[in-house]
Structure 1
Amino acid sequence: MEFRLLGPFEARHDGQPVELGSRRQERCVLALLLLDLGHVVSTDRLIDLLWAGRPPGSARSAVQTYIGRLRASLTPYGVRITTHGDGYLVAAEGHQVDVEEFNRLTYRASDVTDPAERIRLLDRALALWRGPLLADTADDALRERLHGPLGALRLTAVELRAKAQLALGQHAHVITDLTPLVDRDPTQEQLVAALMTALYRGSRQADALRLYQVTRQVLVDQLGIEPGARLREVHRRILRDDHRLDRPGLPCYEVRIRDESLPWSVGGHPALEFCNTFAGWGHEPPLPGSEWLRGYRTLAVWTGYVGLVDDVAVNRLVELDRRDPGSATAVLDEARALRTRLYTCLTDPENRSAFDAVARAAEAAAKALVFRAEASGRGRWWPDLAAGLRVPVHAAAWSAAELLADPRRLTIRVCPDKRCGWLFLDESGLRRWCSTATCGRPATAAPCPSS
């Protein structure tokens, strides 16, 4: 059976519409179960969502009545609602829910490197949206509680498609797709940046600059913040008629070194940059595109980019990766594990196991350092190239130890936006948000996590 929740609630069997639930709340109960297809939804959660935290005394018996009626309606179509403890579950059993299909297509598209194929998958995903979630079933308050993570993923899909379209020179499509979205919500800075780039490529430089001014005014008036670093960079390059904006395939807010796409350095310290990702750590599952550390070569190039090793070391590491990719992959896994422990250590100072793990890595790094004179005559500790492929891990661990011993450790902030989680230094004590342009909303507007 096919269920459509992205818009008015619809149920279809063999392509024909099926009427389910004579009452709106019955359909709403079914929709809530379908949003967690294959997982148990507790009665308490159903009651809380249906009555917005103010249930009548008969709420529990009402839910039981709704479930009984739905079972009677769905059984002829092979849809089973089973009871598990104090909750209910709709068994998947081959049934299709458009929300599940949207998630599948979006995450699949994030793993595709060919921009044409990415556009094809995201077109299919975004075409599933026929209107607001449960447009004729949920009220605005319920929709706001349910829509948060799903709405964030939809914006990610739109952004990924825009990037792919820009990579193929389809700036006219980007203008058509993004203009109404940006008009409705000019605080979505990544979409604004993509639209400004498309306008510039379409010889509409003045329109792009006007869009920036409008967006900046909204951000200042509504949120009390200036545009983020990425959006400011697009604006600066348009003003300078920067030819890099004309190059398809390279988002202008990324850094590209040796054909590797790296995130901007905005945290203020290499150890923080090591932890940071484009879409942040606070979203489960991770948003598409959140992993910048995709290969050992990227790790080696990044280590040189932030100044933890020199160009000679980067050249050597890239060559070692080419000769022994299997060992390089194992070291990459070690680097990712160190990154996770460091992030935990920096965001949860009470986590001693995370600190101890980083400390052991730093101690191992200390045994693989050499003291060399730089051109200026100033001495500096560098990872010994004799460590081979593990040089970047030693470099990151040593940088982490330096930060943990630095008084600035006490000024580290974590961006509170649920979509972000970037780390940054804030010696002024005044910043509330990071500067990656992925966030900036008040904390009360952060999407509610789904159960």
Structure 2
Amino acid sequence: MEFRLLGPFEACQDGQRVELGSRRQERCILAVLLLDLGHLVTTDRLIDLLWHGRPPASARGAVHTYIGRLRASLAPYGVQIRTGGDGYLIERGHHVDVEEFSRLAHKASGTADPAQRVGLLDRALALWRGPLLADTADGELRDRLYGPIEELRLTSLELRAEAQLVLDRHREVINELTPLVARHPTREELVGTLMTALYRGGRQAEALALYRVTRQKLIEELGVEPGMRLREVHRRILRDDHRLDRPNRPVYEVRVHEESLPWSVGGHPALEFCNTFAGWGHHPPLPGSEWLRAYRTLAVWTGHLGLADDVTVSRLIELARREPDIAAVELENARALRTRLYACLTDPDDRSAFDAVARHAEAAARTLVFRRDADGRGRWRADLAAGLRLPVHAVAWSAAELLSDPRRSTIRVCPDERCGWLFLDESGMRRWCSLATCGRNEGDAPCR
């Protein structure tokens, strides 16, 4: 039997709709059991969900009555509600659209080929007829039943739009994302992808206007500035960067003060510090894979990621010019820290790498000062008194913050052997760092 829970509740047998559950509570109970196919759902949980934690004295008897009615209406279609302990379950073997949607979406997230990814996500999104149990559950019950499903839908739409951009379908992306961004104006992944599509469609002014509106909403509603990825898209559009206009080609770098820095995909300074143009795992290293070529590059990067202000960066560059030998030593220290940090972030069991990073962080902590930023908020920064060691201190402190953050568990490594870039994935969907920057060249076979 087929059950459709994404949108109004529907049950079908051999393609024909079947009426089940004359009462809303009965359909809710059936939906709860279907969302947990093959697993026991206790009577207490059913009571808690149906009455939002405020059940009447007759709740247990009411649930028993509802189950009896459901059994009678399901019996002709071979669906059985079994009793086990103090609860009920429906055995696997029935098609539930929520389960199929989740399966297709997660399969698409691990698919490297953009055309295959679009195909899988098209199939998944075609199952979406509206919010979960649109005619049965209220908002509170919907969130408690399967809160992540809406987030999974939005992530799927983001992944699909990114894949369409790689396939040079920017017009479709504009048409699909424009109303979606209007409903989710602070969702930066959607905004960045729509800005890129608008730019490719020759609508640069609209892309820049969208950024201004989004930035204002982020500040007013959340009290934050746009993230690094969105700011980078904005900078590239301002510079009319031709690389935003080239689908199917990797983008490895961004130019800042005449220095080539890695394209930001990680979502955190400690991750960006580890990321390179073309990857850690390729042997021999690809040309340009070492982005820490000179101390000046390191200083500019520190400012670009917001770990130091412009005055500090200028001072570091001048100090490096005056004391090249000390600058060379600190550059090697930075490279050594990067190696240990990458090992620490990719292998949580590497205690020696963690201890090495911790020693750097402890040294940095002794030099930090608390300063007021332009937005009025206080922030710990490495003091200029640290001299040319300042970038190393700044990165080490940023790494310590990440290692103590719950987001540490969401760090992913792009599996492309020529990439290996690190990125945060709080959605649990992004296996690859980015369709545009994961190190594959046009014409390459998909990575396995």
TM-score calculated relative to the size of structure 2: 0.65
- Relative to structure 1, the CA distance from residue 86 to residue 212 in structure 2 (aligned partners, 3 Å threshold; closer, same or farther) is same
AA partner of residue 84 (structure 1): G
AA partner of residue 40 (structure 1): L
State the secondary structure of the residue aligned to 1:230. Answer: helix
Whole-angstrom distance in 2 between the partners of 1:11 and 1:190: 35
Whole-angstrom distance in 2 between the partners of 1:139 and 1:394: 44
Aligned residues of 2:266 and 2:424 also touching (Cα < 8 A): no
Residue equivalent to 1:112: 111
Deviation at 1:89, TM superposition (A): 1.3
Matches within 5 A, 1:270-419: 296-297=281-282, 378=329, 380=332, 399-405=353-359, 406-407=361-362, 408=365, 412-413=400-401
Aligned residues of 1:415 and 1:422 also touching (Cα < 8 A): no
Matches within 5 A, 1:76-87: 76-87=76-87
Residue equivalent to 2:5: 5
Residue equivalent to 1:172: 171
Matching of residue 123 in structure 1 with residue 74 in structure 2: no
Query: Larger Rg: 1 or 2?
Result: 2
Gaps of 5+ in 1: 277-293, 309-372, 385-389, 424-434, 440-451
- Relative to structure 1, the CA distance from residue 143 to residue 306 in structure 2 (aligned partners, 3 Å threshold; closer, same or farther) is farther
AA partner of residue 38 (structure 1): G
Deviation at 1:24, TM superposition (A): 0.6
**Greater shift in the superposed pair: 116-125 or 403-412:** 403-412
Aligned length: 337
Whole-angstrom distance in 1 between the partners of 2:357 and 2:404: 21
AA partner of residue 264 (structure 1): V
Residue by residue over 1:8-51, the C-alpha shift from the partner in whole angstroms, topping out at 9 and shown as x without a partner, is: 00000001110001101100110111111222222222111111
Whole-angstrom distance in 2 between the partners of 1:167 and 1:71: 50
Whole-angstrom distance in 2 between the partners of 1:131 and 1:170: 26
- Relative to structure 1, the CA distance from residue 211 to residue 393 in structure 2 (aligned partners, 3 Å threshold; closer, same or farther) is closer
Whole-angstrom distance in 2 between the partners of 1:34 and 1:174: 34
Deviation at 1:199, TM superposition (A): 0.6
Whole-angstrom distance in 1 between the partners of 2:73 and 2:284: 56
Aligned residues of 1:189 and 1:438 also touching (Cα < 8 A): no
State the secondary structure of the residue aligned to 2:147. Answer: helix
Residue by residue over 1:264-292, the C-alpha shift from the partner in whole angstroms, topping out at 9 and shown as x without a partner, is: 3554446x977x9xxxxxxxxxxxxxxxx
Residue equivalent to 2:390: none
Residue equivalent to 1:219: 218
- Relative to structure 1, the CA distance from residue 150 to residue 179 in structure 2 (aligned partners, 3 Å threshold; closer, same or farther) is same
Aligned-residue CA RMSD in angstroms? 4.2
State the secondary structure of the residue aligned to 1:173. Answer: helix
Deviation at 1:262, TM superposition (A): 8.3
Whole-angstrom distance in 2 between the partners of 1:241 and 1:170: 20
State the secondary structure of the residue aligned to 1:132. Answer: coil
- Relative to structure 1, the CA distance from residue 68 to residue 297 in structure 2 (aligned partners, 3 Å threshold; closer, same or farther) is farther
- Relative to structure 1, the CA distance from residue 16 to residue 422 in structure 2 (aligned partners, 3 Å threshold; closer, same or farther) is closer
Structure 1: which 4+ aligned runs deviate by more than 4 Å?
298-301, 304-308, 373-377, 379-384, 392-399, 408-411, 414-423, 435-439
AA partner of residue 17 (structure 1): R
- Relative to structure 1, the CA distance from residue 175 to residue 375 in structure 2 (aligned partners, 3 Å threshold; closer, same or farther) is same
- Relative to structure 1, the CA distance from residue 378 to residue 84 in structure 2 (aligned partners, 3 Å threshold; closer, same or farther) is same
Matches within 5 A, 1:210-289: 210-249=209-248, 264=265, 267-269=268-270
AA partner of residue 329 (structure 2): R
Residue equivalent to 1:189: 188
Residue by residue over 1:365-424, the C-alpha shift from the partner in whole angstroms, topping out at 9 and shown as x without a partner, is: xxxxxxxx989653857999xxxxx9x85997565322222224787445999988668x
Whole-angstrom distance in 1 between the partners of 2:225 and 2:9: 40
State the secondary structure of the residue aligned to 2:8. Answer: coil
State the secondary structure of the residue aligned to 2:128. Answer: coil
Residue equivalent to 1:17: 17
Residue equivalent to 1:149: 148
- Relative to structure 1, the CA distance from residue 377 to residue 111 in structure 2 (aligned partners, 3 Å threshold; closer, same or farther) is closer
Whole-angstrom distance in 2 between the partners of 1:229 and 1:382: 22
Aligned residues of 1:228 and 1:437 also touching (Cα < 8 A): no
